[in-house]
Chain A
C-alpha cells in the first residue's frame, strides 16, 4: 500500500469531554494528534476508559449525548468534520467514511429485511440505479463470503447468526465504496473460529480494495492480524504509535509493555504478569503522567510533569520521559510458571459418570399433543474424573455445553442421566434443594459477569456475610473478622466492606466474587468464564489470584472458558467440548500438542496471537451448526479430516494416546499424528 502524502483523516490536538453534575469538566480524550493516510490500516488499542471508541466516532463527527469538543479538530479530506452541515455529514457517513459497528445484531434495524438495509446504503451513497441494486446487493453479500445470498436478502436480522450479522454489517459498509472504514470492535462476542474467519475477510478486503482502516479493539491478536500500524491509548491519550512490529514485539512505552506481558500466550504454559491498579477515571489523571501510579519505572519527574508525544529514532511516537530506558529492556519474557501439584497420588474429588442434560422440556400444549422430551440431549455422555488440587479446563465455543455442565455440578440444572460422585463415595444429588449443607459449602460457583453476580443492593459486608451465616452460623465480631481476613487474602482490604458493587471496578467486583466463594472454605470451585468479561490486564490479576489461592489452600478448580490461551495458563488437564459432547481430554501439554482431535486442531489454529509474524490456520469453514445434533460424530459437518460415511453414522470410539490422553475420533491416532505433523 502506497502512502499518499495527504492524509485522509487528520486529528489535531483534539480534546473531548463532558460536564458532570457537579459542574466539573471531565475529559475523555486529551490532546489527540493522529493522521491516517489512504490505504493504511491503523489499530487503535486500549482498555475500557481509554477513549478509543469515542475517538473513532469523533472521526465521523459523532459525539455521544453529553460529550462536546473541548479543543482541537478532526478533519476528513481536509474538511473539518465538526464544522460540516448535517447534509454534508450525511453524505460522508456511510459513503466515503463507513462504520462497521460493534454488535451488528443490535445495529441492524429489526423490522427491515437485510436486502433492504444494504439497498438503502446503495441508494444513499452509490451511483447504482434502482434496477441494478438487487444484483449489487447479492454481489456485496458474496464479497463478504456469505452463503446463499439470494435467500439471505429476504431475511430479518434476528434470523442470522452473530457471524453472519457481522458480515452483513461489513457488506453494508462496503456498499458506499468507502475510502476509509472505521471498525469498532467488530469481532466482540463472536466465537473463536468465526472471529478468525471474519478477520481474514477484513484483512483480504483491506489488501484488495486499498481502503484505509481504523480498527478499534482491545484484542491485540486481532490487531496483529489486520493492521500495519498500532496506536496505543491510555486514559484518553495516545501513549504509543508505531508499526505493528515495533509495538507488538518491542514496545517502548511501559504501559504497552505491561499490557503485552499480561496477555496469556498459547506457547507459554505460564501465568501472564499482572498489572496492578486500574486506569484513572476521567479527570483524575493528575498533572503528571497518567500511568505513573502503575508504572514499574516511574520516577519523581513522572508525577509532576506530563510527558509529550516524542518521536523516536525508529519513527515511532511515544509519550514517556524514559522511553529510551524502556527500549533497552529485554523483550518481556514468559510469566511465572504455574506450580503443578503432584497429582498422581491425589484422591478423586469429583467424578462425572455418563452425564446427560437436556434443556428443552415439553410445554403444556406439547404435552397435550403427545410430544416427548427431545431425543438428543443438549449435553451427553460426559464422564470425567477430577483429582484433588488440580485444575480441569473445560473448553468449547458457544453451544458446547460447558456452562451447562458446570451448572449441573452446582445443582442448578437437573441431569437426565448419569451420576456425579463427590469425594470418592458421596453421591451428589442433582438439585441444590436435596444436598446437605456440607456438600453445598464444599462446592462453590463463580460467575462470568461480576456486574450481575453481585446483588447491587448489598454491601460487600453483606455479600460476604451470607455464606458465613449459612455455613458456619457466624455473626457479630467473628463474622466481621473473617470477612476482613478473606478480603485481605484477595488483596482488597477491610475498607471495602462498606462499599456497594456500583462503587467498585470490574476487577474489584470479581475479586469480591472470588472472596465470596473462598470464604466458604470450599474444596471445589467452579469458575464459569470468570475472566471473560474483564479487561486484559485485569484478567491476568484474577488468574494470578486464583492460582495463588490454589497453591495456598489446595482447592480444586473446574475452569470453563472459550479462551484457549487463558486455559493453557491455568489448567493441568483440559477437556474439549463440541455440541455438548467430549472430543478430547488429557493433560494440558498433551492436548495442546499433537495428536489432536480435529476440532482441537481447528480451535488452536484459529487462535490469534498478538504477534504479527503468526497467522491463524483456517481449516474448517465458518458454518453454523444446525440443530438437532448430528448422529454419529457431532463434528462431521465441519470436520476438515472427515473420512467418510462412518463419521455420519457411528459414534467415534475413545482412543488412548500416551499420558492419559484420550481422543474421540474414527481416524487411528498414528495416522492423525502423521497428518497433523505433516502440516505443522
Chain B
C-alpha cells in the first residue's frame, strides 16, 4: 500500500509540474508579453526594451520558467505587471474569500447531496425521487449565471429577503460577508449537490442490485440493516471521487458566480487580470488553481485507498 501511495504522490507531482510548464508555455506562445500588454500602444523601441530589461523578459524562456517555478514553490509568485505589487499579497485575500465561499457551499451541499442521493435511490421512482431527480437535472443543466440571476430575481428583487449583490470589500474578515454570501452559496451548492446526488443515486441503485445485497436479503438481514451495513459503505466509496471532481469543477464554475454577485474572490480577480492583460497574475492564479485541483484529487484517491478494503490489502491469486 505504501508503494501505491508513493506512486500516487509522484504522479500528482508530475501533473503539477506539467501544468506549470503548460501554463508558462501557453503564455509564451501568445503574441505579446507583459510589456506589450502594459505599454499597449507605446510598446516599441527603447521603451519596450527597457521595460523588458526591467522585468527580466529578455532572458531565455527556460531561464524565466525556472525562476518563476522556483519562486512559486516557496510562495513568491512575482509581481503584477500592473503596479508591480506582490502577487502573493494580492491573491492571498481573494483566495481566502473564495475558500470561504467554497467551504460554506461544501458543508451545506455535500451532506445534503449524499442524503438525498441515498433517499432517491431507496425510494426509486416514487414521488420523492421524481421530484429531486428532476430538480437535480434542472440544477445541473441550467448555466450558473442563469440560476444566479433567477435567484436574485426571486429572493432579492421580488421577495427582498436576501441581498442580491456583495458590497463587502475584499479584505474584510469572513463574518462580514454574511448575509450577502448566502445567495452565492446557494447557487454554488445547488449545482454541486445536483451532480453528487445523481452519482450517489446511481451508485446506490447499482449496489442494491448486486449479488451480495441479494445474498444479505436471502440471509434474512432486515432491510435497514442491509442499507446501513452492506449498501452504504460500498455505495459511498465512489462518492469520494465525485466530490473531488465537483470541487475541481467548482474552481472554474465559481468564477461566473463571483462576477454575477460581485463577490471579491479569486475568480473575479482572474477575469479582471485577463481583461487587463496582467499576465503574471494570470499565470499565478492558474498555477494556484491547478495545484488545488491536483491536491484535491490526490486526497480523494488516498481517502479511497484507505476506505476500500480491496485497495488496502492484496488480492488473492485464484
Contact = CB atoms under 8 A, between A and B. Distances in A.
Physical contact A–B (CB less than 8 Å): yes
Given A101-B211, A111-B233, A365-B7, A159 B219 contact: no
A161 B318 CA distance: 5
Given A94-B219, A109-B216, A159 B318 contact: no
B46 interface: no
A101 B216 CA distance: 11
A103 B313 CA distance: 21
A107 interface: yes
Given A90-B220, A120-B221, A110 B318 contact: no
B234 A101 contact: no
B28 to A, nearest CB: 29
Contacts of B7: 365
B310 A156 contact: yes
A92 interface: yes
A454 interface: no
Contact of B230 (A93, A98, A112, A156): A112
A537 B317 CA distance: 32
A93 B219 contact: yes
A99 interface: yes
A176 B213 CA distance: 19
Interface residues of B, number: 32
Contacts of A124: 219-221
A121 B220 CA distance: 8
Contacts of A361: none
Nearest to A57: B218
A160 interface: yes
Nearest to B210: A106
Contacts of A93: 217-220
B211 A106 contact: yes
Contacts of B175: none
B59 interface: no
B31 interface: no
A221 B240 CA distance: 47
A656 interface: no
Contact of A94 (B220, B223, B316): B220
Contact of A111 (B10, B309, B316): B309
A110 B215 contact: no
Contacts of A98: 219
A610 interface: no
Given A158-B316, A399-B317, A94 B229 contact: no
B212 interface: yes
A120 B313 CA distance: 23
A120 B216 CA distance: 10
Contact of A106 (B212, B220, B221, B234): B212
A614 interface: no
B218 A94 contact: yes
Contacts, number: 98
A164 B317 CA distance: 12
A28 B276 CA distance: 72
Contacts of A20: none
A461 B318 CA distance: 38
Contacts of B315: 158-159
B218 A60 contact: yes
A198 to B, nearest CB: 15
Interface in A218-261: none
Interface in B230-276: 230, 233-234, 237
B3 interface: yes
Contacts of B317: 161, 399, 624-625, 627
Interface in A8-60: 57, 60
A572 B213 CA distance: 47
Interface in A120-152: 120-121, 124-125
Nearest to A92: B220
A290 to B, nearest CB: 29
B219 A158 contact: no
Contacts of A92: 220
A256 to B, nearest CB: 30
B215 A99 contact: yes
B314 interface: yes
A336 interface: no
Contacts of B211: 101, 103, 106-107
Contact of A109 (B6, B212, B222): B212
A260 to B, nearest CB: 31
Contact of A161 (B3, B6, B314, B316): B316
Interface of A: 57, 60, 62, 86-87, 89-95, 98-99, 101, 103, 106-112, 120-121, 124-125, 155-156, 158-162, 164, 172, 176, 365, 398-399, 624-625, 627
Given A109-B212, A109-B229, A160-B316, 19 more contacts: A62-B217, A89-B220, A90-B221, A94-B220, A99-B215, A103-B211, A110-B309, A111-B234, A124-B221, A155-B313, A156-B310, A158-B309, A158-B310, A159-B315, A159-B316, A365-B3, A365-B7, A624-B316, A625-B317
Interface of B: 3, 6-7, 10, 210-223, 229-230, 233-234, 237, 308-310, 313-318
- 3 A-B pairs with least C-beta separation: A94-B220, A94-B219, A93-B220
25 contacts: A62-B217, A62-B218, A90-B220, A90-B222, A91-B220, A93-B220, A95-B220, A99-B218, A101-B211, A106-B210, A106-B211, A107-B211, A107-B212, A108-B215, A109-B229, A110-B212, A111-B230, A125-B220, A156-B313, A158-B313, A158-B316, A161-B318, A172-B219, A176-B220, A627-B317
